[in-house]
Amino acid sequence: MKHTIRDIAREANVSVTTVSLILNGKPNTVSEATAGRIREIAAKYNYAPNHFAVGLVTKKTNTIGLILPDIANTFFAELAKSVDGFCTASGYSMILSNTNNDPEKDLTAVTLLVNRGIDGLIIAFSQDENKERSAAFIALLDDLGVPFVALDSWIEGLKCSGVSIHHSKGGMMATNHLISLGHTRIGCITGPRGSYTAERRLKGYIGALTEAGIPFDETLVAAGDYQFDSGSSAAHLLIDRGVTAIFASNDLMAYGAYQAVQSRGLNVPDDVSIVGFDDLFFSNILQTPLTTIHQSVPALGQEAWNLLYDRLKHDGIDDEYRQLEPHLIIRDSTIAPKGRR
Partner DNA sequence: CTGAAAGCGCTTACAG
CB of 112 to DNA, least distance (A): 15
Under rule CB under 8 A, residue 115 binds a copy of itself: yes
Q: Enumerate residues 190-219 that contact a copy of itself by CB under 8 A.
A: none
- How many CA atoms within 13 Å lie on the side-chain side of 188? 29
CB-wise, 20 or 323, nearer to DNA? 20
Using CB under 8 A, count the residues that bind a copy of itself.
50
Binding residues among 30-49 for DNA as defined by CB under 7 A: 30-31, 34, 47, 49
β-sheet bridge partners, residue 294: 278, 327
Please report which helix (H) or strand (E) contains residue 230, including its range.
Answer: helix 228-240
Q: Which of 44, 56, 135, 136 binds a copy of itself (CB under 8 A)?
A: 56
Minimum CB separation of residue 47 from a copy of itself in Å reads 10
37 binds, options DNA, a copy of itself, none, Cβ within 5 to 8 A by partner type? none
CA dist 236 and 256 (Å) reads 10
Question: Which residue, 25 or 215, has its beta carbon nearer to a copy of itself?
Answer: 25
For 78, the enclosing helix (H) or strand (E) is: helix 74-89
Sign of the CA dihedral 285, 289, 290, 296?
Answer: positive
Position among 20, 74, 302, 323 found at the interface with a copy of itself (CB under 8 A): 74
The residues pairing with 165 across neighbouring beta strands, listed in sequence order, are 324
Report if residue 15 touches DNA, rule: CB under 7 A: yes
- Residue 75 corresponds to which amino acid? F
d(CA 16, CA 23): 10
* Part of the chain binding DNA (CB under 7 A), chosen from 23-31, 61-69, 106-114, 129-137: 23-31
DSSP β-ladder status, 327-329 and 291-294: antiparallel
Q: Strands 245-248 and 93-98, how do they pair? A: unpaired
Does position 263 interact with a copy of itself (CB under 8 A)? The reply is no
CB 101 within 8 A of CB 76: no
Closer of 54 and 114 to DNA (Cβ): 54
Element (H, E) at 169: helix 167-180
- Residue 190's alpha-carbon distances to 15, 18, 29, 204, 223, in angstroms, are 65, 62, 64, 11, 5
Question: By CB under 8 A, is residue 266 in contact with a copy of itself?
Answer: no
111 binds DNA (CB under 7 A): no
- For residue 28, state whether it binds a copy of itself (rule: CB under 8 A): no
Q: Which of 167, 165, 52 is nearest to 116 (CA)?
A: 52
The Cα–Cα gap between 138 and 12 comes to 52
- Binding residue (CB under 7 A) for DNA from 1, 57, 72, 285: 57
Name which of 256 and 337 has its Cβ closer to a copy of itself: 256
Q: Which residues lie near a copy of itself (CB under 8 A)?
A: 2, 46, 48-53, 55-56, 61, 63, 70-74, 77-78, 80-81, 84-85, 88, 93-98, 100, 111-113, 115-117, 145, 228, 255-256, 258-259, 262, 281-282, 285-288
Q: Which residues lie near DNA (CB under 7 A)?
A: 2-6, 13-18, 20-21, 23-24, 26, 28-31, 34, 47, 49-50, 53-54, 56-58
